[in-house]
Amino acid sequence: MRLNRKYRSWSDRLFDIFNFSLSLFLAIVFIYPFWQTLVTSVSLPAYANGLNYRLFPRGGATLAAYGEVLKNRTVFIAYGNTLYRAAFGTVITVIITYCGAYMLTKKRLPFRNTITFLIVFTMFFNGGLIPRYVLVSSLGLIGSRWALILPVATSAWNVIIARNFIAAIPTSMEESAIIDGAKPFQVVFQIIMPLSLPILAVLALWTAVNHWNAWFDALIYVRSTSKIVLQLYLRRILIDIDNQEVGFYDNVMLLTKSYTTPETVKAATIVVSTLPIICFYPFLQRYFVKGVMVGALKG
Amino acid sequence: MTGGTRGILKSIYAYRFYYLLGLPMIIYFLLFHYVPMYGVVLAFKDYSFRLGILRSPWVGLKHFRLLFESYKFYQLLANTLLISTYRLVFGFPVPIILAIMTNDLLNNRYKKFFQTISYLPHFISWVILSGIIIEILSPSRGIINAVISALGGEPIYFMTIPKYFRGIVTVATIWQSCGWGSIVYLAAISSIDVEQIEAAYVDGATRLQIIFAITLPSISSVIVVILLLTVGRILDAGFEQVFNLYNPMVYRTGDIIDTYVYRVGIIDMRYSFSTAVGLFKNAIGFTLLVLANLLVKRIDSDKSLW
What single letter denotes the amino acid at residue B64? F
Residue B281 predicted with pLDDT over 80: yes
Answer whether A50 sits within 8 Å of B114, measured CB to CB: no
A contact residues 174-213, partner B, Cβ 8 Å cutoff: 184-185, 188, 195, 198-199, 201-202, 205
| pLDDT for A2 | 47
What is the nearest CA distance from A111 to chain B, expressed in angstroms? 9
Least CB–CB distance from A164: residue in B32, B128, B225: B225
Alpha-carbon distance of B114 to B105, in angstroms, equals: 9
Residue B100 predicted with pLDDT over 50: yes
Closest CA to A267 of A27, A24, A64, A9: A64
> Which DSSP symbol is given to B1?
-
Contacts of B186 in chain A (CB under 8 A): 288-289
- Counted residue by residue, chain A has a size of 299
Q: Which chain B residue's Cα is nearest to A122?
A: B33
**Could you tell me what percent of chain B has a pLDDT over 70?**
97
Ranges of beta strands (E only) in A151-210 are none
Least CB–CB distance from A295: residue in B15, B129, B195: B195
Name, in order, each residue with C-beta under 8 angstroms of B15's C-beta and a sequence gap of 6 or more: A106, A108, A109, A110
What single letter denotes the amino acid at residue A184? P
Of the listed ranges A7-11, A105-109, B244-248, B280-284, the least confidently predicted one is: A7-11
Closest CA to A202 of B197, B115, B183, B146: B183
| pLDDT for B287 | 94
| Mutation for testing the B interface, residue in A14, A109, A138 having most B CBs under 10 Å | A109
| Mutation for testing the B interface, residue in A49, A119, A124, A166 having most B CBs under 10 Å | A124
| pLDDT for B2 | 53
Of the listed ranges A101-105, A111-115, B276-280, the least confidently predicted one is: B276-280
Closest CA to A210 of A85, A118, A102: A85
**Could you tell me what percent of chain A has a pLDDT over 90?**
48
Q: What is the pLDDT of residues A260-295, one digit of tens each?
A: 777 888 888 888 888 888 888 888 888 876 655 444
Residue A254 predicted with pLDDT over 50: no
| pLDDT for A258 | 64
Respond yes or no on whether ipTM tops 0.85.
Answer: yes
Integer angstrom CA distances of residue A157 from A121, A258, B185, B223: 11, 46, 15, 13
Least CB–CB distance from B38: residue in A6, A131, A292: A131
Alpha-carbon distance of A53 to A76, in angstroms, equals: 32
Answer whether B229 sits within 8 Å of A99, measured CB to CB: no
Of the listed ranges A120-124, A228-232, A279-283, A294-298, the least confidently predicted one is: A294-298
Alpha-carbon distance of A209 to A219, in angstroms, equals: 18
| pLDDT for A125 | 92
H-run or E-run covering B173 = helix B162-190
- How large is the average pLDDT for residues B295-301? 89
B272-306 burial string, b = 16+ CB within 10 Å, else e? bbbbbbbbbbbebbbebbbebbeebeeeeeebbbb
pLDDT band at A30 (very low <50, low <70, confident <90, very high): very high
pLDDT band at B12 (very low <50, low <70, confident <90, very high): very high
A contact residues 262-281, partner B, Cβ 8 Å cutoff: 266-267, 270, 273-274, 277-278, 281
Q: What is the pLDDT of residues B66-86, one digit of tens each?
A: 888 888 899 999 999 999 999
- How large is the average pLDDT for residues B247-260? 91
pLDDT band at A52 (very low <50, low <70, confident <90, very high): low
| pLDDT for B213 | 93
Of the listed ranges A60-74, A158-172, B21-35, the least confidently predicted one is: A60-74
pLDDT band at A244 (very low <50, low <70, confident <90, very high): low
Computed over every residue of chain B, the mean pLDDT equals: 89
Closest CA to B123 of A270, A258, A236: A270
CA atoms within 13 A on the CB side of A278: 20
* A55 Cβ under 8 Å from any chain B Cβ: no
| pLDDT for A295 | 43
- How large is the average pLDDT for residues B15-35? 96
| pLDDT for A7 | 56
Instruction: Write the Ramachandran bin of B256: left for phi over 0, alpha for psi from -120 to 50, otherwise beta.
Output: beta
| Mutation for testing the A interface, residue in B23, B128, B287 having most A CBs under 10 Å | B128
Closest CA to A123 of B261, B231, B299: B231
Residue A73 predicted with pLDDT over 90: no
Contacts of B278 in chain A (CB under 8 A): 128
pLDDT band at B51 (very low <50, low <70, confident <90, very high): confident
